[in-house]
Chain A
């Protein structure tokens, strides 16, 4: 499902002294099957933007479109929209409430009128995807799990709804490195397997560099850069002025390129760790070592 935003503006607390324009006049197209990374400083409007993507917030002005559906200020029905777009909130573990893990994961599918046996099947798959073996975890209380496990249950709860678009708001905040990687790899797996359009909000350049094929950089409620990751990473100065940074791989490429002769410059498209590694190994073993 392609989603497009046209001149979307959202104002919190309209008509009160606390009025705050959180996003202004955003236009953006998210292609079918893309993996989009959204980055930006705290308060830049990322969470506000993604809550529009499944109709939780309706734009103060502007329009969103997905297939035959449309949302604007006056739209009443957003349920169908919600069925298609699964949204994992920041700190989703705070939304768990059922007595057992399996019931919590089945809550979403059942709400969207999925038959119970089907919902159970989906919940089981989803738990396995996020790395919580079904047999071990299904009957445990979600409140007795560790924070990271709770997070996975919450993510499974959205995956089990089998959305066509998956939106994640900082799914790895506050997790240990291994936990981060496990969750992101699981999500990347289903993104590739099911061609699931995926939108990842994060503060980590490393994460977007690894997974995203399109980047959106936000600042002060506006999109200040968007495009292929390499096109964004090349603007290192601009990113720094927005209190963001380039991934480690990119700064390594920059540093190496300053020392390498013109004909051996490393292209910025190799910002993914594995690809850079392969390229460097090839350079080293082909005998054209780095001159000092």
Chain B
């Protein structure tokens, strides 16, 4: 059950803030371009600038740092792995520590720190996006950004719709899973003990009801959409219009400044 509560992390947290009220299109573009900046960074100053920026972004979005750090949980293993790999294999510069075949070099430590920062920054900036943008805004933004691809036959509307339905139902399915796990636990199910085969079999009482309910929901949703006259994206107007405000050019300026600084100060 605690396993499931972790999935709440990364979910939209409604609030009023500069970051929340940015247009989703700007935020999406920003994250992509910011990722370039992260890959450009290669010395303490540039990494420092990016880190400070991300930290102030989190503050501007009124999200607690503790909560953001929890968001790093799913990637901690990746981070650890990167650190160990660099410490062990990257050679060069001063030798800090040596026993037999094993040695830690200056370059290894540097790369370990940089890679950690790089992954951490990318995860943080993208969770900042999903934490401050509702799934509907996110897919709307994506659909609008990708609209030109319709001309070459990409089913942008359909893909966006699928995405938004999927996003919409993730929390529902999580709740459902939680409920079914509890119900079977109440009937004495044991998911922890036994060998692999036994454990896999123990999952059946969860997986089967979950599939049954997912299919039921899918059918109901399809029926409800048809009943209300849904016929695909052709000629469909929008209830909610995305609008750029003063916030968006401001973000563009911020981005330019960051990219400029990183480009100028990198080694």
Instruction: Identify the A interface with B (CB < 8 A).
Output: 13, 15-18, 51, 54, 56, 79, 82-83, 86-87, 89, 92, 94-97, 107-108, 111-112, 143, 157-158, 161
Contacts and interface: CB of A to CB of B under 8 A. Distances in A.
A75 to B, nearest CB: 14
Contact of B204 (A51, A96, A97, A112): A97
Given A16-B70, A51-B182, A95-B184, 16 more contacts: A15-B67, A16-B67, A17-B64, A18-B8, A56-B186, A86-B186, A89-B182, A94-B176, A94-B180, A94-B183, A96-B209, A97-B208, A107-B187, A107-B205, A111-B187, A161-B188
B212 A111 contact: no
B185 interface: yes
Given A17-B67, A97-B205, A97-B209, A111 B190 contact: yes
B13 A95 contact: no
Contacts of A89: 179, 182-183, 186
Nearest to A154: B183
Given A95-B209, A97-B205, A97-B209, A56 B187 contact: no
30 contacts: A15-B66, A16-B8, A16-B9, A16-B67, A17-B63, A18-B11, A18-B13, A51-B182, A54-B186, A56-B1, A56-B182, A56-B186, A79-B188, A89-B186, A92-B183, A94-B180, A94-B183, A94-B209, A94-B213, A95-B180, A95-B183, A95-B184, A95-B205, A97-B208, A107-B189, A111-B187, A111-B189, A158-B186, A161-B187, A161-B188
B195 interface: no
Contacts of B70: 15-16
Chain A CB count within 10 A is highest, among B9, B66, B180, B185, for: B185
A125 B204 CA distance: 26
B132 to A, nearest CB: 12
Contacts of A143: 212
Nearest to A113: B188
A13 B5 contact: yes
Contacts of A157: 187
Interface residues of B, number: 29
Chain B CB count within 10 A is highest, among A15, A16, A82, A83, for: A16
A82 B187 CA distance: 8
Contact of B185 (A13, A15, A82, A96): A82
Nearest to B190: A111
A94 B188 CA distance: 17
A55 to B, nearest CB: 9
A87 B8 contact: no
B182 to A, nearest CB: 5
Contacts of B67: 15-17
Contacts of B5: 13, 16
A92 B209 CA distance: 11
Nearest to B207: A97
A107 B8 CA distance: 31
A71 B234 CA distance: 58
Interface string B182-220: 111111111000000000000011001100110000000
B188 A83 contact: yes
A273 to B, nearest CB: 33
A29 B208 CA distance: 38
Chain B CB count within 10 A is highest, among A83, A86, A97, A107, for: A97
Nearest to A18: B8
Contacts of A13: 5, 8
Contacts of A92: 183
Interface in B1-44: 1, 5, 8-9, 11, 13
Contacts of A79: 188
Q: Which 10 A-B pairs give the minimum distances between C-beta atoms?
A: A111-B188, A108-B187, A97-B208, A95-B183, A87-B186, A112-B188, A17-B13, A97-B205, A89-B183, A56-B182
Contacts of B180: 94-95
Nearest to B131: A17
Given A16-B9, A17-B67, A89-B179, A82 B186 contact: yes
B8 A82 contact: no
Contacts of A107: 187-189, 205
A157 to B, nearest CB: 6
B190 to A, nearest CB: 7
Nearest to A12: B5
Contacts of B208: 97
Given A51-B182, A97-B204, A158 B8 contact: no
A51 B181 CA distance: 13
A45 B184 CA distance: 21
A213 B179 CA distance: 30
Nearest to B64: A17
A269 B45 CA distance: 80
A111 B188 CA distance: 5
Interface in B160-176: 176
A86 B183 CA distance: 10
Interface in B219-245: none
